[in-house]
Each structure stands twice: as structure tokens, then as C-alpha cells.
Amino acid sequence: MMSSPSFPNGLQPVRGLASASPAAVTVAVELLTSRTDIAAAVEAVVGLLSSYPEIDGVTVAIIGMTPERTEGWVPLGSRAWLREWTAPGATCSVAPPEGAGPEQAFSLTWLSQHARTDVVAVLDTELLPPDAAQDRRELEGCNVRALVSRSIVRDHVLFGSLGLARETPGPWPESYVSDVRLLSAAIASRLAEEVSRRSLAEAIERAETAHQSKEHFFAALGHELRTPITAIMGTAELQSQEAGEHIDSDPSGFATSVARDADVVLRAAEQLHAVVEELLGTGDELGGRAETQWVDVAEALADVVHWLGAPARTSNVTVGSDVPTGILVRTTPSALRQILTNLVGNAITYNVAGGSVRVTATRATDEFGRPRARIGVRDTGPGLSPAQQRRVFEPFVRFAGPEVRGTGLGLSLSRSLAERDGGLMGVESAEGAGSVFWLDLASTEHRPV
């Protein structure tokens, strides 16, 4: 046994030790490269260390994680687990008695401070300094006279501890100390990887739950809103028709009043219905699972121009396109068509009689040299002031009188769809000179096969 004057604090020097043993290196490599679970990894370490001569006990504690298989493990409260091996005939054990609470587990406050920074080798618990009196009582209480311990730490995060115990005092072979240092680091790497994997799995599960909740919410919301709005619209339209049939035979004017009020209710219900449909439609698109793909701008625009042909003729606005085929952008077909419908539809609605709308698409590159495509929708309307341009993408913001129908949501929701796919939206305008609303999305130089 080492004498007190040589090592007054009872600790064996651990600097400049020999390299870890080949067996420990083999186990460490296996831990870092194999796909075995944490329980199997710990068993490999315990199996190696327990084979060393004169070892009476091996302990591995992990914190904040439950092993995949808990046979042979002792729970220490709700956040820690202990795996202990004791040599035949040995009496040392650091596990709390069966049925005991976590408060009876080891604390080893003095040694733990040192073990967090490097491996600690205790020659004799009786030589520990007065500051370690609590540690000495705990170790002597379970018949441990010599100890090698290292906290399982990775990136300053504590995952547990690894230790060797002996019932007799004396120095430790340098290879034992080096092996504990190496194997604790290997376990720490595996535990850090497992924590990341479990955190990712939990995040995916939470996202899946949130997505399902959102789908259920939109489905319920759509039913709860559409049903009464449809009933209001139908009732108002019926009342307007019935009142209109009695206007000529009602000198009191009551039928006229009813018809007028029913028309007001009908217009308000139609406006509310448009808002609900716009919100729910975009909500479905934003919350959907459809993967982005390469979409031909010209093909999407052809559909939009066809859909908006009637309102363009009614407003006496000419819609033209300078978009060549073959310009592809990364998004979903429904999102691109919805955005273009909003932009071209607004350009028609807010234009002047006899005006025009022109759609262009040009290729560009971003600051990293990656291909982009910019789609522009130019109108000959009244244009926007600088103050209006700053607010035009805000929800429910409109710069037209009540005679112009609209929800004030189209541009805001369109920008959300564009940003979801890594795109941008903006406007360039001048009062009295029309506006250009543009959409910028990732593009490709070649049509994918």
C-alpha cells in the first residue's frame, strides 16, 4: 500500500500514463463503429473490465436515458440507471439496497469534481483528505478501499460515470487507468449519439402529432365555418328573391327593405366565404405533405390565364405572356398556380379599363451562383405609393374601395407559400405608372429527366 507522505490526498498520479491496452482499443472501436444498442455497448465494456485481475467490481451509471434492455440494471430514481458487476466472493457494491430510494445512491461529491475533468485513481480511501470525508464514508461503507473513476462526459454534458473498485488498497496498473479513460470517452460518444437520435425521433413524432392536429383542426374548421356561411348565403338569396317578387304589390315598402337588407347580408356572407376559402385553401397547401418538384412556369401560367379569361374580358383588360416554355422552378404545382392566380387576378382587378397585364420570366443566379427564375406580373394600374408598398403584403390590407371585391389575404398567403419553398416575393411600383409584382424561386438550367 502507498504511504501517506508520497500521496497525501490518496490519489495516484494519472498524467503521462501508458497507452490503453489493445483489448480496450478494440472494444472502443467496436462501440464507435457498430450499431449495437446502449445496453450492449455497456455490457461489452463491463465484460472487458471485469476480466482484469484483482478487480472486485465494475460500475457504469447513465443519466437521463433508459437502456433499451433493463435486465441487470438498477434504477436510481427516474433519471439514472446503474449496471454493476461484482466478482465472486467480493462484498463491495455501490448499488443501493433493494427498495431504497435514489437518495441512498452514492454522491461522491469530492471525487466527482475531479472525475469530470480526468480519470481519478484512489490508492486508499483512508488517505483521502478531510474535504473528502463524505466520499470516504460512502466508499468504506460498501467495502471499497481503492477506486478508478471517470465521468462519462461529452461537450460538457454529463451522461454518467464508469468505475473500477477493489477491496484492497494499493496502486493501480497504468493500463487500467488508461483503459477507463478511453472506454468512458467511447461510451460518452455513443450516449451523445443516442441522445441526438432519440431527440430527433421525438421531434419527428411531435411534428407528426402537430401535423395531424393541424389537419384535424382545418377539417373541423372548414366544416364548422362553411356550413353556417352556406346556410346564411342561401337564406339571404332566397329572401332577396321572394321579397323582389312582392315589391310591386307592397306599397308599404317593406318588401323593398327586406330585399335590400338581404342583398347586404348576401354580399357580406360571400365576402366571409371568400376569406374562409382563401385561408383554408392555403392552410391545406402549407400543411400538406406534397414534395416540391420542378414545375414549368409557362404551363402553370397557361392554366391561370385560362381561368381568369372571363374576369379579364369583363374588366376590359388584356392579359399577355412573354414566358417561354422550359423555365422550371422548384415548388408544388398547386402553389405556383395559386400564387400566379393571386398576382394576375390582382393585376386585372386593380387595373384600369382598357389596361393590360404582362407576365415575364427571366433566368438569374443568386450570390452563390445557383440558378434562379424571376417571374414578373406587370400591370398598367394606378400604382402604389412607397407607404403602400411597405404594407401591401400584410394580411387584410387593401388599397381599393368597397366596390372592388377582395379579401386582402392573397398577397400575404402567396408570400407564405413562396417562402415555404425558399422563394421571395416583392413589388416595384410608382404612383400613376403601374406595378410589377415579382416571384423569385430556385430554378434549374436543364430539364430533369
**pLDDT digits over 328-350, tens only?**
999 988 889 889 988 999 999 99
| pLDDT recorded at residue 232 | 84
Give the orientation angle of helix 297-307 with respect to helix 333-349, to 10 degrees. 50
Let me know: does 184 contact 150? Beta carbons within 8 Å.
yes
pLDDT at 408: 74
Span(s) in the chain for CATH 3.30.565.10: 290-449
- Sole residue written with cell 330585399: 259
Residue keyed to cell 315589391: 247
The pLDDT assigned to 185 comes to: 94
Write out pLDDT tens, residues 253-291: 788 888 888 887 887 777 677 667 666 666 666 665 568
Q: With 0.75 as the threshold, say if the pTM is over it.
A: no
pLDDT band at 218 (very low <50, low <70, confident <90, very high): low
pLDDT digits (tens, 9 = 90+) for 363-405: 988 888 889 999 999 999 999 999 999 998 988 787 776 666 6
Q: Where does the pLDDT of residue 3 fall: very low under 50, low under 70, confident under 90, or very high at 90 and above? A: very low
**pLDDT at residue 448, rounded to an integer:** 60
Residues 290-449, CATH architecture: 2-Layer Sandwich (3.30)
pLDDT band at 251 (very low <50, low <70, confident <90, very high): confident
Residue ranges of the chain assigned to CATH 3.30.450.40? 22-201
Cell of 384: 402604389
Instruction: Report residue 220's pLDDT band, with 50, 70 and 90 as the boundaries.
Output: low
Q: CB–CB of 332/295 below 8 Å? A: yes
User: Can you give the pLDDT at residue 241?
Assistant: 85
pLDDT confidence tier of residue 407, bands split at 50, 70 and 90? low
With cut-offs at 50, 70 and 90, classify the pLDDT of residue 1.
Answer: very low
What's the confidence (pLDDT) of residue 209? 75
pLDDT digits (tens, 9 = 90+) for 91-128: 888 877 665 554 555 678 899 888 998 999 999 999 99
Mean pLDDT of all residues belonging to the chain? 85
Q: Which fold has domain 22-201?
A: Beta-Lactamase (3.30.450)
Is 283:220 a contact under the CB 8 Å cutoff?
Answer: no
Question: Are 95 and 57 a contacting pair, CB within 8 Å?
Answer: no
- Whether the pLDDT of residue 214 is over 70: the answer is no
Q: Is the pLDDT of residue 2 over 70?
A: no
